[in-house]
A and B are shown apart, each in its own frame.
Chain A
């Protein structure tokens, strides 16, 4: 069974990946945005209530060793398509709060949580945007309870794919 999940916003048809190892999720415009209903916490805990290709995404995460996020760097963060998937993944964590280093965060739903690897691409990435993205990945890792995380920058999706092959 696949234990590495790739969520991406690019065309990866040319990439020959071992399906026993990799699960692939295309973050497209068809993924509906989160509506802020908290149904994934209070109605169907762990699962988004919106019916589309993304409905089961949050429940897939705990079965993975690693999640690879391939996204166009957008204003120092994730692209709208990837962000729609992330926004609808909060069922992965619990609604309840805890304190980490004196700051409020969410308690974790799952004992086993994957590491996070972000591969971000864009033309002419500024140092400021890069700094925001580095802080974002750190914050995502803290909030999603990932012990290990990494970030790589590429100046195009094509170069990123070369790195994956």
Chain B
């Protein structure tokens, strides 16, 4: 099976989406052929070309303001009328990850991906919503506090490998919410300090 993995993060540095793609392709196994593309900076045609001969596609992206990041949304919108001709039998899956703790907060963005499939008249497979995305570099996915994420990816991979459509899955790390919040706050303060800002600067009102 040929599987297209779409990295929907706009970041050029390593992103949670990239970490998820790496872990997902490991779970999907070595018997598939994989093509990976980064959506940021692609033209509509380059995006569509990625779907050539593809059996399944997985769109992996960060949650932006309760939805799909604009650069990826634009490509989906511009491709919707032609996708069916390029990949008539493709099944589309999506993984959305957010900075909030709860994976369920990705529900609306995953619904939008389903509406995209309806609009493009291609089969929707399944969505996976992952919370506390900021933690995905804290350990190998599937180990330690990211054991839950590994388990969710395993079920998700099974459905992709068999082109099964199912209800969305949600997961967040097996790590206390309060501790996650404190860790993220520490990271923000440290990053601001590195940028020469004082703690009170972060609260500036314009």
Q: Which residues of A contact B (CB under 8 A)?
A: 33-38, 41-43, 45-47, 59, 62, 74-81, 83-84, 86-87, 89-90, 94-97, 103-105, 109-110, 126, 128-129, 132, 135-136, 139-140, 143
Would you call B195 and A103 a contact (CB within 8 A)?
no
Task: Tell me the count of chain B residues lying within 8 A, CB to CB, of chain A.
Answer: 45
Decide: A74 near B100, CB < 8 A? Known: A36-B9, A96-B188: no
A residues in contact with B77, CB < 8 Å: 74-75, 79-80
Would you call A62 and B185 a contact (CB within 8 A)?
no
Shortest C-beta distance, B203 to chain A (Å), equals 7
Would you call B65 and A86 a contact (CB within 8 A)?
yes
B204 at interface by CB-CB < 8 Å: yes
- The closest CB in chain A to the CB of B181 belongs to A97
How many A-B residue contacts, CB cutoff 8 Å? 138
B residues in contact with A76, CB < 8 Å: 108, 111-112, 115
Would you call B73 and A80 a contact (CB within 8 A)?
yes
Shortest C-beta distance, B6 to chain A (Å), equals 15
A147 to B11, CA, bound (A): 33
Q: Which residues of B contact A (CB under 8 A)?
A: 9-11, 15, 40, 62, 64-71, 73-74, 76-77, 100-102, 105, 108, 111-113, 115-116, 118-119, 177, 181, 184-185, 188, 191-192, 195, 197, 201-206
B residues in contact with A86, CB < 8 Å: 64-65, 67, 70
The secondary-structure label for the interface of chain A is: mixed
Given A45-B201, A76-B108; 19 other pairs, CB 8 A cutoff: A34-B69, A36-B9, A36-B69, A42-B202, A45-B197, A46-B205, A47-B206, A75-B119, A76-B112, A79-B77, A86-B64, A87-B69, A90-B65, A97-B184, A97-B185, A109-B205, A128-B118, A139-B108, A143-B66
B residues in contact with A83, CB < 8 Å: 64-65, 67-70, 73
- The closest CB in chain B to the CB of A31 belongs to B70
Would you call A136 and B67 a contact (CB within 8 A)?
yes
Shortest C-beta distance, A154 to chain B (Å), equals 18
A residues in contact with B73, CB < 8 Å: 74-75, 77, 80, 83
B residues in contact with A78, CB < 8 Å: 67
Of A77, A79, A84, A129, the most chain B CB neighbours within 10 A belong to A77
Would you call B64 and A87 a contact (CB within 8 A)?
yes
Would you call B112 and A77 a contact (CB within 8 A)?
yes
- The closest CB in chain B to the CB of A140 belongs to B66
Would you call B68 and A45 a contact (CB within 8 A)?
no
A residues in contact with B11, CB < 8 Å: 35-37
A-B contact pairs, 11 of them (CB 8 A): A33-B70, A41-B192, A43-B197, A74-B73, A75-B68, A75-B112, A75-B116, A78-B67, A94-B203, A103-B100, A136-B66
